[in-house]
Amino acid sequence: MSGANRNIERLRRDYSGEELAESNVSPDPFKQFLTWFDEAVNAEISDPHAMVLATASADGRPSARVVLLRGIDGDGLTFYTNYGSRKSLELEANPRAALVFPWHELDRQVRVEGNVSRREDRASDEYFASRPRASQISAWASNQSGFLRSRSELEERFRKFEREFAGRDVPRPENWGGFRLSPESFEFWQGRPSRMHDRILYALLPGGEWKIERLAP
């Protein structure tokens, strides 16, 4: 590869975050997550709620993609998708998944791992009803992760569902809804000078308490 921008080996900068220590994190990883999430929102970084979701097929082939965090509570982190998509089929076969929030502008990363399960229909209905109408129609039009002959096939399906639902509310398609990842671990990574980064790991113990440990960078 050539060109100044492609000199990947030389792309390098030092990270300058403040110390993340066992003594200054919250004992509750959900609270710690929300503190960092608020800081990401306040820093006006692009899509602070965008997270990489890694899944794997039953025979262990991994795949990853970005989805949007749409809720967090004591039970876990929620995202919405098509239940027939590749990620959903993998999650049905193997509910173990990992999330990564890559907050580069803050020299931070959060990793979350756990089991994923479908959200109850009522939660999916409520969220679907809050989406813009065009996004609702698009959920009907897109057979997510299926093959299309052309862009116009998708656009024709969009127009078809626009006609079908003209003058009434768009119901939630049965094959569209939420998943919730119930965390068994959280890792908070803070970039520091000289690659001497801080990594704080929370691991869920059988009794429900969180054990906090430091990992080598």
Ligand X SMILES: Cc1cc2nc3c(=O)[nH]c(=O)nc-3n(C[C@H](O)[C@H](O)[C@H](O)COP(=O)(O)O)c2cc1C
Active-site amino acid positions: 195
Count, residues near ligand X per rule CB under 6 A: 15
Mark the segment that binds ligand X (CB under 6 A) among 10-18, 84-92, 118-126, 152-160.
Answer: 84-92
Taking each helix axis from N to C end, the angle separating 151-164 and 133-141, rounded to the nearest 10 degrees, works out to 120
- Nearer to ligand X (CB atom), residue 178 or residue 183: 178
User: How far apart are the C-alpha atoms of 202 and 210, rounded to whole Å?
Assistant: 6
79 binding ligand X? (CB under 6 A): yes
Q: Is 106 exposed, middle or buried (CB count within 10 Å of its CB: 0-12, 13-18, 19+)?
A: middle
Q: Which is nearer to ligand X, 56 or 201 (CB)?
A: 56
Which CB sits closer to ligand X, 85 or 136?
85
8 A C-beta contact, residue 169 and residue 177: no
Q: What does the angle CA 199 – CA 77 – CA 127 come to, to the nearest 5 degrees?
A: 150
Alpha carbon distance 9, 53 (integer Å)? 27
Give least dist CB 167 to ligand X, A. 28
- In this structure, are strands 71-73 and 62-68 parallel, antiparallel, or unpaired? unpaired
Contact between 129 and ligand X by CB under 6 A: the answer reads no
Residue 98 CB, shortest distance to ligand X, in Å, is 14
> Binding residue for ligand X (CB under 6 A) from 15, 54, 56, 65?
65
Identity of the residue numbered 156: E
Binding-site member from 66, 93, 148, 196 for ligand X (CB under 6 A): 66
87 is an interface residue for ligand X by CB under 6 A: yes
28-57 residues near ligand X, rule: CB under 6 A = 47, 50
Question: Does residue 144 bind ligand X (CB under 6 A)?
Answer: yes
Alpha-helix residue ranges (DSSP H) falling in the chain: 29-42, 86-93, 121-130, 133-141, 151-164
Note the residues at the interface with ligand X (CB under 6 A): 47, 50, 63, 65-68, 79-81, 85-87, 144-145
